[in-house]
Structure 1
Amino acid sequence: MNRSIAGIVLILLGVGLYLNHGQPVDAGTIFGHFWPSLFVIPIGLFFHWLYFSMLAPRATGLLIPGGTVFTAGIVCQIAMLTDGWAYLWPGFIFAAAVGLFEFYWFGGRNRYLLIPISILMVLSLLFSAVFTIGALFNQVAVSGPTLAILFVLIGAFTLLGGKSKT
């Protein structure tokens, strides 16, 4: 147990030093970068611990906030480390789907729960795809005249490229 705690502390210290570009790490830096790992994720784990160690199968409702808060904490931690809030916000919709899916999986397997789970998953994937594709277009800088020229060239190639046999 002591080796695990020491390993986690060393990993967090190394990531903190990396994010601080080699400058000394203070408490504000640690709290600023790792608040999801320090506060949000443990709350989600606490709900899971309550269910799996003490109250299973009587209190499957604990899994809804447990899965939601834990997944939201993971999304927040990744966003804090990568500064990707603009692209990772669909993860919060995904978090609600995870909480409901845990309730479905460990609960009575009510098939009607699959409807909101599916809707939330599709919305999360759709928004992630749209914002990721938009970010890729911005990264490549394909916009304005460049995009127009690209469409004209593809259209001309389509028209002149090959003759159909019909």
Structure 2
Amino acid sequence: MNKRSILASFLILLGVCLMLAKGDSLNPGQMIGLFWPTLFVIPLSLFFHWLYFFMLAPKGSGVLIPGGVLMTTGVVCQIAMLMGNWEYMWPGFILAPAVGLFEFYWFGPRNKWLLIPINILTILSLLFFALFSLGTLFNQLMGGGKTIAAAVLILAGALVLFSKKKDV
């Protein structure tokens, strides 16, 4: 990494801190508490990826499993810390081993049997993300505007009922 990219990363991080502070001052403890995934977890995952791509490739593809798991976990934790939405981000922890195994599959020996747990974990994670996201959206629609949601459902039912059938 050159000096410009380190400076740019620092300036971006400082700008995000100032945006999140909203007039309050952030002390160093609060900044570490807010950005601990970026400071500790994501650099460790980058180390594992660097280790594979610059030192061990193509033989040591096993280091990509913890690298992928830590990268996904770090991103999920960082988003949850910044947005304060841990209750919606937890399916990302199910996705983390799928990402690590997929990296191992992609850069490793390409054992086709690895695709089974990768697909199961990915589908399970996406299913939980969809259920919790759509459930929250539906609750917000129903909580603030029950009449709007009811009208949309009645309109959708009427469209389905009175639409012409297409001959296939």
Contact 1:16 1:29 in 2 (8 A): no
CA distance in 2, matches of 1:60, 1:50: 10
Find the counterpart in structure 1 of residue 64 from structure 2: 63
- Match of residue 22 from structure 1: 23
Report the Cα distance in structure 1 between the residues aligned to 2:121 and 2:106, rounded to whole angstroms: 16
What TM-score do the two structures reach when normalised by structure 1? Answer: 0.86
Distance 2:64 2:156 in 1: 53
Distance (whole Å) between structure 2 residues aligned to residue 74 and residue 135 of structure 1: 22
Over 3 Å counting, the alpha-carbon distance change for 1:82 and 1:148 in structure 2 is closer
Aligned to 2:95: 94
Structure 1 consecutive aligned stretches of length 4 or more whose deviation exceeds 2 Å: 22-25, 145-164
Partner residue, 2:124: 123
Matched letter for residue 66 of structure 1: G
Pairing 1:67-86 to 2, within 5 Å after superposition = 67-86=68-87
| Structure 2 unaligned blocks of 5 or more | none
Post-superposition offset of 1:162:
7.0
Change (3 A) 1:122 1:160: closer
Q: Residue in 1 aligned with 2:35?
A: 34
> Which residue is 1:103 aligned to?
104
**Counterpart code for 2:72:** T
Q: In structure 1, what is the Cα distance between the partners aligned to 2:149 and 2:46? A: 50
Gap regions ≥5 residues in structure 1: none
Structure 1 residues 150 and 37, CA gap change in structure 2 (3 angstroms)? same
Instruction: Name the SS of the counterpart of 1:29 in structure 2.
Output: helix
Offset at residue 152 of structure 1 (A): 8.4
